[in-house]
Amino acid sequence: MVIIKVTIVVVAAFLLITISQRIFPWLAERFSGRHRLYVLASVPFLRLIIIVVAVWMIISSIIEPTIENFFALLGALGLALGFAFKDYASSLIAGIVTLYEIPYRLGDWVSVEGAYGEVKSIGMRSFEIITPDDTVVVIPHLKLWDKKIFNSNDGSRNLQCAADFYLHPNHNPKAVIEALLDTALTSSYLQVQKPINVVASEKPWATQYRLKAYPVEPRDQFRFITELTVRGKEALAELGVDFPAPYAQPLDQF
């Protein structure tokens, strides 16, 4: 009888989690902007609630839910899992940690060990991102313990983009900066309220300018960077600025 009850609870919890992980992202696609992010962010919380309720129902059906029994059970489980499924258990625990630390949410743009993309689903053991090349990358939560996780927008719609320009050092920097600022300011993808910055640095073979600005919609980041690059180069070419040839040797005169 207990086994049947536990099985029912596990199956029900699994089904509820699976359904919520499918329905909420589907629902989120019907929204846009911040409403989409709110819907996506509710998925892990719902999953946490389902897991807690399911675990409590299982424990209370197997043993009398006293403090002593609870700790004894946890100790036994910890010992077994520690030996048999170390990495799996580590990912599961990291998955629970992500629920309150929230290093990434659905809809965030993250980079983990060179893989960059939008978080499309967060499971109990791993999460999935879709790269700009439409490739799904499955990343176990245990990366949380010892790897750097770069989150570009951290739950907001503010995702900074940068377009790089490499110019022959013989140019008028003030005119270049003005042209690049206007390139960003006139981009249709720009989030006008956010700051636009131009950062210059000298390289052995060119002067690098980084044009930094925010698109209205994080999903448009690659279109935005493309537009900044194309229109920026047009504007710079009209100023008479030369671009160094690709793979050029370091310039003798600098």
Partner 1 sequence: MEHTEQKRQLWRYVPLSDYVVPQATMSRSIKGGIRGLWQRLRVAKEKSEDPQKPESDLQQIPNIILEKIAPNTDWQLPVGYLKAALDDRFGAEPNETTTFLVVGLPHGGNAKILTALARELEWPLITEPSPEQILSRDHSWLKQIEKQDTPWVVPALERCYLRHVHGLTLVRQMFEKINTGTMGSGIIGCDSWALAYLKHVVPDRLPDALVAQAFDDSRITWWFDQLASTRFQKPIVFRQTDNGKLVLPVEPAQADPDITGIETSAFINQLAAHSRGIPGIALCFWRKALRKEPDKTMTNTSLSETPSDMKTTLWVLPWDKLDHPVLPSSISPESSILLHNLLLHNGLSKGVLAKILPFSSNVITKMALVLKDAGLVEENEGMWKVSPLGYPIVRQYLNGEGYLTDQF
Residues that bind partner 1 (CB under 8 A): 32-35, 157, 179, 182-183, 185-189, 191-193, 216-217, 219-220, 223, 227, 231, 234-235
Q: Which is nearer to partner 1, 202 or 234 (CB)?
A: 234
Q: Which is nearer to partner 1, 128 or 217 (CB)?
A: 217
Q: Hey, which residues does 209 pair with through a beta bridge?
A: 165, 200
Q: How far is the CB of 194 from partner 1 (least distance, A)?
A: 10
Q: Which is nearer to partner 1, 125 or 219 (CB)?
A: 219
- Taking the C-alpha atoms of residue 172 and residue 178, their distance in angstroms, rounded to an integer, is 10
Q: Which is nearer to partner 1, 128 or 154 (CB)?
A: 154
Q: How far is the CB of 155 from partner 1 (least distance, A)?
A: 14
Helices (H), the chain: 2-30, 33-62, 67-84, 86-101, 143-146, 173-185, 221-238
Q: How far is the CB of 9 from partner 1 (least distance, A)?
A: 39
Q: Which is nearer to partner 1, 60 or 186 (CB)?
A: 186
Q: How far is the CB of 111 from partner 1 (least distance, A)?
A: 23
3-state SS track over 47-84: HHHHHHHHHHHHHHHHCCCCHHHHHHHHHHHHHHHHHH
Phi-psi region of 211 (alpha: psi -120 to 50; beta: other; left: phi over 0): beta
Q: How far is the CB of 130 from partner 1 (least distance, A)?
A: 17
Pick the closest to residue 63 from 55, 73, 54 (CA basis): 73
